[in-house]
């Protein structure tokens, strides 16, 4: 820990988790949110906590190498490896949000490929794409019971070729986004969810996406 007092990101993580819970994106204990501090450690939701009613005690602080820095009964989420991978890959990322939504799960079944083409709609601006009729793909990863394998695959794949947008989808599981602030990560989760809902709705009426 740095000796310099650092901003505590937990109150905003609690508020964002409650907002996602209320929209059905973090039901039960699903999903996890984290925020990185200037010393490269990060706060992340603890394992097994209901996301609609988190308290600041239901977070743990981890080093970038995965060392637990808090001395409480709270245990880190099994999905911490996903957040670690994001912070190791992307130095600009100070927040990483991972949620489980129905539309993200359905969208992940629309292709067997390692990426999914996203519709060229206005909402892509929310993910930093400012071109007319862009060709944008979202990276798709296999789900693994051992979540550390997902983190390892993210490190290997994105280490070779950075993603087009600050997001990735785990098949039959959920989406992860990252941003330069907690508010940016929240906006990006919302943009991704809009795109998933659009994609699934378009498929249901056989609307061509391109």
Contact string 136-175 vs Zn ion (x = CB under 5 A): --------------------------------------x-
Cβ density class 89-98: b for 16+ within 10 Å, e for less: bbeebbbbbb
Q: Residues 30, 54: contact at Cβ < 8 Å?
A: no
> What Å distances lie between residue 105 and 171, 174, 196, CA to CA?
7, 6, 9
CB closer to Zn ion out of 136 and 192: 192
Residues 102-131 that bind Zn ion (CB under 5 A): none
Contact string 56-95 vs Zn ion (x = CB under 5 A): -----------------------x----------------
Four-CA torsion 53, 48, 20, 26, nearest 10 degrees: -130
Q: Residues 120, 210: contact at Cβ < 8 Å?
A: yes
Residues 32-61 that bind Zn ion (CB under 5 A): none
Sheet holding 115-118, edge to edge: 59-62, 42-45, 32-36, 95-99, 174-179, 167-170, 136-141, 115-118
- Minimal distance in Å, beta carbon 168 to Zn ion? 12
Residue the block writes with tokens 């394992």: 47
CB closer to Zn ion out of 76 and 174: 174
- Minimal distance in Å, beta carbon 143 to Zn ion? 9
Q: How many residues bind Zn ion (CB under 5 A)?
A: 2
- Minimal distance in Å, beta carbon 122 to Zn ion? 28
Residues 172-191 that bind Zn ion (CB under 5 A): 174
CB closer to Zn ion out of 79 and 184: 79
Tell me which residues touch Zn ion (CB under 5 A). 79, 174
């Amino acid at each position: 820990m740095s000796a310099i007092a650092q901003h505590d990101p937990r109150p905003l993580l609690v508020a964002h988790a409650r907002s996602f819970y209320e929209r059905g994106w973090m039901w039960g204990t699903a999903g996890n949110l984290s925020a990185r501090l200037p010393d490269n450690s990060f706060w992340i939701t603890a394992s097994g906590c209901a996301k609609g009613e988190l308290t600041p005690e239901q977070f743990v602080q981890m080093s970038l190498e995965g060392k637990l820095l808090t001395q409480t009964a709270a245990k880190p989420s099994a999905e911490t490896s996903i957040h670690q991978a994001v912070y190791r890959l992307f130095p600009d990322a100070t927040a990483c949000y991972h949620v489980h939504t129905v539309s993200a799960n359905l969208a992940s079944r629309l292709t067997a490929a390692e990426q999914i083409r996203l519709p060229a709609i206005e909402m892509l601006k929310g993910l930093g794409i400012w071109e007319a009729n862009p060709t944008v793909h979202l990276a798709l990863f296999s789900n693994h019971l051992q979540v550390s394998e997902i983190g390892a695959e993210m490190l290997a794949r994105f280490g070779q070729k950075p993603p087009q947008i600050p997001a990735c989808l785990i098949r039959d599981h959920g989406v992860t986004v990252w941003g330069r602030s907690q508010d940016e990560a929240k906006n990006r989760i919302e943009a991704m969810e809009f795109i998933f809902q659009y994609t699934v709705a378009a498929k249901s009426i056989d609307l061509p996406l391109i």
